[in-house]
């Protein structure tokens, strides 16, 4: 049960958009819904279905009945009597952009069109897509229609095609300010996962998938776990302390040298070792000596990554990484949303986390480019092990896209905020 549900209870379970059909009265929340609306207007139901097969849909489930396995879920259905006097059983599904703010007791689960064809209860007569919205479309459910859905799924659904892309919401995003800035700080992960970067109404990959993501990737399986992890990310305590310790030693040496040119690598290593031996109260022995050797090697690793970053234009010719706080703060931006999607976080807690992320990033870095380079360094030190493989190339692609695309958060949200 949603531990903080009562704080966020509301009546907006399903989207209801009043629309009279006049041109320009309705702005679709995202590209998918805009395309679906145009297809609905010209009665292109088959092409409409093809888009659903590519992107998948979300269906409502009482939170007590939520399940990662679609076959174990119960569909919400209702009986509707048409103008012909026949009573039919209907069920509703929605595309991502149409989902309302998270509800405490009714959640949305992701499902593909192919899986829907396999598990939709036999008593369902009609599937309503985006009910009570300008792009509502209905499909009669019978064996032939299910076969069409299955075929389209086999032809079109590719989960990898939905990742590594910039997705922005046209409606429902916060105005310029700390909230929007905090959302923009999570743009690397939003790009990699193909998520809309500027929405606070977070559903992600569906309720059960968000719960599973947190448990498998972060060891977070409760509200208490989420609160602790979110706080540690905000305070930059998840990444190893010695990353910034080593970088800080270079900054100190540069200041002593009057910031006149690069710091000598040997001097940097010696400074790291001398400081560690002075401040760490540890008995001499092989374990401590191994740690010292690792810290000296970390200097070389940072220098080699920075050289590659310069070659790939992540860094300018004379730029260095000053701190890797971006790695924790960028993930904190998404952790706030993941916690909301899993119903571990209240809306107020998510908002507060976003504003703290924004403040932390703005007080630590001078530009989106500098923030991004530091985030990439953190990801590489965490995962890449100097292979310069997918852990590096994927985030490099995100960095370039986010800096270049006109609609990118980093080209639409000022790095420093007024006041």
Give the residue extent of every domain in the chain: 5-162, 178-239+325-412, 241-311
pLDDT of residue 7: 77
Interatomic CA distance for residues 295 and 245, integer angstroms: 10
Summarize pLDDT for 159-183 with one digit per residue, the tens. 999 999 999 999 989 999 999 999 9
pLDDT of residue 4: 61
Interatomic CA distance for residues 276 and 382, integer angstroms: 22
Interatomic CA distance for residues 171 and 135, integer angstroms: 15
Interatomic CA distance for residues 167 and 171, integer angstroms: 12
Lowest-pLDDT choice from 144-158, 283-297, 301-315, 367-381? 283-297
Q: Which residue has the higher pLDDT, 333 or 86?
A: 333
Average pLDDT, integer, range 113-121: 97
**Residue among 211, 208, 180 at smallest CA distance from 409:** 180
Measured over the CA atoms of residue 62, residue 63, residue 64 and residue 66, the dihedral's sign is: positive
Lowest-pLDDT choice from 82-86, 197-201, 390-394, 398-402? 82-86
Summarize pLDDT for 20-72 with one digit per residue, the tens. 555 557 899 999 999 999 999 999 999 999 999 999 999 999 999 999 999 99
Average pLDDT, integer, range 97-113: 95
Interatomic CA distance for residues 197 and 192, integer angstroms: 11
Q: What is the pTM of this model?
A: 0.94
Q: Is 15 left (phi over 0), alpha (psi -120 to 50) or beta?
A: beta
Q: Which residue has the higher pLDDT, 261 or 140?
A: 140
pLDDT of residue 23: 53
CB 338 within 8 A of CB 210: yes
pLDDT of residue 24: 54
pLDDT of residue 1: 45
- The encoded tokens of residue 260 equal 């006149």
Summarize pLDDT for 91-104 with one digit per residue, the tens. 999 999 999 999 99
Helix/strand/coil (H/E/C) assignment for every residue in the chain: CCCCHHHHCCCCCCCCCCCCCCCCCCCCCCHHHHHHHHHHHCCCHHHHHHHHHHHCEEEEEEHHHCCCCHHHCCCCEEEEECCCCCEEEEEEEECHHHCCCCCCCEEEEEECHHHHHHHCCCCCCEEEECCCCCCCEEEECCHHHHHHHHHHHHHHCCHHHHCCCCECCCCCCCCCCHHHHHHHCCHHHHHHHCCECCCCCCCCCEHHHHHHHHHHHHCCCCHHHHHHHHHHHHCCCCCCHHHHHHHHHHHHHHHHCCCCCCCCHHHHHHHHHHHHHHHCCCCCCHHHHHHHHHHHHHHHHHHHHHHHHHHCCCCCCCCCCCCCHHHHHHHHHHHHHHHHHCCCCCHHHHHHHHHHHHHHHHHHCCCHHHHHHHHHHHHHHHHHCCCCCHHHHHHHHHHHHHHHCCCCHHHHCCCCCCC
Average pLDDT, integer, range 190-202: 97
State yes or no: pLDDT of 372 exceeds 80. yes
State yes or no: pLDDT of 377 exceeds 50. yes
Interatomic CA distance for residues 99 and 324, integer angstroms: 35
pLDDT of residue 21: 56
CB 201 within 8 A of CB 102: yes
pLDDT of residue 17: 83
Percent above pLDDT 90 for the chain:
88
Q: Is 190 exposed, middle or buried (0-12, 13-18, 19+ CB in 10 A)?
A: buried
């Amino acid at each position: 049960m949603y531990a903080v549900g009562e704080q966020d209870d509301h009546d907006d379970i399903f989207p209801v958009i009043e629309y009279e059909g006049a041109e320009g009265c309705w702005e679709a929340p995202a590209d998918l819904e805009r395309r679906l609306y145009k297809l609905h207007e010209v009665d292109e139901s088959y092409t409409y279905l093809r888009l659903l097969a590519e992107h998948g849909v979300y269906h409502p489930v009482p939170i007590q009945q939520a399940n990662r396995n679609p076959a174990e879920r119960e569909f919400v259905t209702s009986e509707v009597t048409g103008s012909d006097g026949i009573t039919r059983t209907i069920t509703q599904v929605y595309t991502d952009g149409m989902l309302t703010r998270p509800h405490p007791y009714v959640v949305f689960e992701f499902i593909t069109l192919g899986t829907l064809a396999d598990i939709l209860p036999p008593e369902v007569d009609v599937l309503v897509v985006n009910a009570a919205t300008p792009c509502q479309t209905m499909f009669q459910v019978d064996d032939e229609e299910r076969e069409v859905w299955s075929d389209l799924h086999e032809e079109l659904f590719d989960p990898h095609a939905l990742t590594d892309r910039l997705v922005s919401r046209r409606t429902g995003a916060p105005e310029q300010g700390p909230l929007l800035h905090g959302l923009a700080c999570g743009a690397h992960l939003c790009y990699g996962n193909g998520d809309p970067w500027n929405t606070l109404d977070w559903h992600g990959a569906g309720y059960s998938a968000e719960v599973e993501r947190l448990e498998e990737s972060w060891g977070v399986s409760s509200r208490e776990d989420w609160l602790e992890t979110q706080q540690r990310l905000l305070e930059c305590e998840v990444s190893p302390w010695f990353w910034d310790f080593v970088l800080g030693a270079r900054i100190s040496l540069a200041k002593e040298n009057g910031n006149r040119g690069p710091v000598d690598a040997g001097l940097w290593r010696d400074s790291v070792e001398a400081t560690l031996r002075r401040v760490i109260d540890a008995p001499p022995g092989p374990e401590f000596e191994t740690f010292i050797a690792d810290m000296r090697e970390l200097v070389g690793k940072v220098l080699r990554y920075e050289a590659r970053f310069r070659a790939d234009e992540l860094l300018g010719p004379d730029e260095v990484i000053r701190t890797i706080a971006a790695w924790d703060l960028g993930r904190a931006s998404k952790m706030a949303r993941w916690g909301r999607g899993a119903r571990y976080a209240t809306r107020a807690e998510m908002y507060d986390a976003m504003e703290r992320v924004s403040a932390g990033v703005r007080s630590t870095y001078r530009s989106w480019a500098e923030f991004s380079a530091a985030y990439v360094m953190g990801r590489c030190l965490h995962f890449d092990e100097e292979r310069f493989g997918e852990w590096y190339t994927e985030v490099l692609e995100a960095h370039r896209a986010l800096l270049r695309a006109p609609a990118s958060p980093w080209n639409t949200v000022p790095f420093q905020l007024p006041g």
